[in-house]
Structure 1
């Protein structure tokens, strides 16, 4: 299922501190698919602050995965973040972004950078402290590689479960929406549909609560795919289409999946 490969966005707790107007503005723009505007807001702080530089990089990588565009801008932002990194924690976090960008380019067929992705995430694992709050995101991304590049469902499940547990412990609610989603996709693949429905519903609920608008349409489509009631599944897909139109056709790859799902529904009714 292609839409299960969505990225984990920056800011793993979702909306950042409401006391920081910049963080709040960036969240609102990102969640509405305005990645270029969010990156522009971050640019002045990102020129001197390693954390802001990483966040800007992650915003631009997210745009790549939702639209298939903007690779050069993401690479430039990543190089700047790597140059600002000081200390193992910063370098490990930057390596995690390096691995994720390489994964994204491989997944979408831009360039085969699978070896770079694995190497960078391995470097991040060596640099990040065992109790680092960035560990859950690293585990999630290692799960993505196991699932989509290595075709190793058992390793993917273990990595996603570690990420899920860590996200729960650290209160990373947005990351939880992704771990629920990917664990549900694995359950669906294995035919455990009740478990899949539960996971997809949890993911959708978190995204709605957080206001992560750009991630709601894919969550609706995934849940629709495992529902037993055709009328309810059709309703969720119509809502997904409405949200996509609102966001200017983002995610760019979801239209194809919606068409396939609706075609299968029509065939079943004939």
Structure 2
């Protein structure tokens, strides 16, 4: 599924978009895609995904994300593109729900269901869909068993398709469920892997949340150091993610 990617690409545009996205400059990254997004379905979907991600991290920009999604939906010409647009619409509705902006849980479920019907089991976008359905199961339906199964499918898919950023997120969410079950060693391993991948990718905007998550499973002395570093990075990112300050001692809903 054409979405904001972390692949090592020779395309200067891909590299520029990734550099901006990884630093939380979603508007600037979307602007680079705007000249192509009015006529090219993959570019429109990538741009929409960037703006949806901004909503998840900042709780702002909802109207711009909706407009970008409508464009992506209008341009979608095959099942993969339609499924990708539905997956992003579901994620936008999920973000509005978990961030307390508006309860759009039914819309999220419906959109994810459309995406599941459109995306083939081996499609590149299927792993991301599985992950997001896991988020719904965990943070909206409070069904950890369903969430764990979805995260494991997403983890396998991310591994198969080489999607390292998604892999960092599946590690983190599986670790969070392990921590919930009192499995400290498993939780520490998963959180450590998630942090390692984000640091290696240079995904700066997602590093502070990964540090804070690892702190929840770390010994007290290490936890203090990790939270201090998370707070430093959070200030460096001008308080983004907006939800992190209130969650430095808990595991927030992932992005």
CA distance, structure 1, for counterparts of residue 93 and residue 243 of structure 2 = 19
How many residues align structurally? Answer: 249
CA distance, structure 1, for counterparts of residue 7 and residue 122 of structure 2 = 23
Quote how far apart the aligned CAs of 1:130 are: 2.1
CA distance, structure 2, for counterparts of residue 47 and residue 22 of structure 1 = 16
User: Match for residue 127 of structure 1?
Assistant: 118
User: Match for residue 101 of structure 1?
Assistant: 92
Quote how far apart the aligned CAs of 1:57 are: 0.8
User: Match for residue 11 of structure 1?
Assistant: 4
Quote how far apart the aligned CAs of 1:10 are: 4.1
Query: Does the CA contact (< 8 Å) of 2:211 and 2:226 recur in 1?
Result: yes
CA distance, structure 2, for counterparts of residue 43 and residue 110 of structure 1 = 27
Query: Does the CA contact (< 8 Å) of 1:15 and 1:210 recur in 2?
Result: no
Structure 1 stretches (4+) deviating beyond 4 angstroms?
Answer: none
125-134 vs 79-88, greater mean Cα deviation: 125-134
User: Match for residue 90 of structure 1?
Assistant: 81
**Does structure 1 residue 249 correspond to structure 2 residue 239?**
yes
User: Match for residue 19 of structure 2?
Assistant: 28
- 2:217 match: secondary structure: coil
Deviations 1:26-55 (A, max 9, x none): 101111011111111111111111111111
2:143 to 152, 155, 179: 152
1:172 to 141, 163, 170: 163
Report the TM-score, using the length of structure 1 for normalisation: 0.89
**Does structure 1 residue 137 correspond to structure 2 residue 128?**
yes
Report the TM-score, using the length of structure 2 for normalisation: 0.94
CA distance, structure 1, for counterparts of residue 64 and residue 142 of structure 2 = 29
CA distance, structure 1, for counterparts of residue 148 and residue 222 of structure 2 = 29
The unaligned stretches of length 5 or more in structure 1 are 1-8, 262-270
Higher relative contact order (CA closer than 8 Å, sequence separation 6+): 1
Query: Does the CA contact (< 8 Å) of 1:180 and 1:203 recur in 2?
Result: yes
The unaligned stretches of length 5 or more in structure 2 are 251-255
Query: Does the CA contact (< 8 Å) of 2:176 and 2:187 recur in 1?
Result: yes
1:10/1:214 CA distance change after superposition, 3 Å: farther
Query: Does the CA contact (< 8 Å) of 2:128 and 2:154 recur in 1?
Result: yes
Query: Does the CA contact (< 8 Å) of 1:16 and 1:27 recur in 2?
Result: no
Which is higher, the Rg of structure 1 or of structure 2? 1
Superposed CA RMSD: 1.4
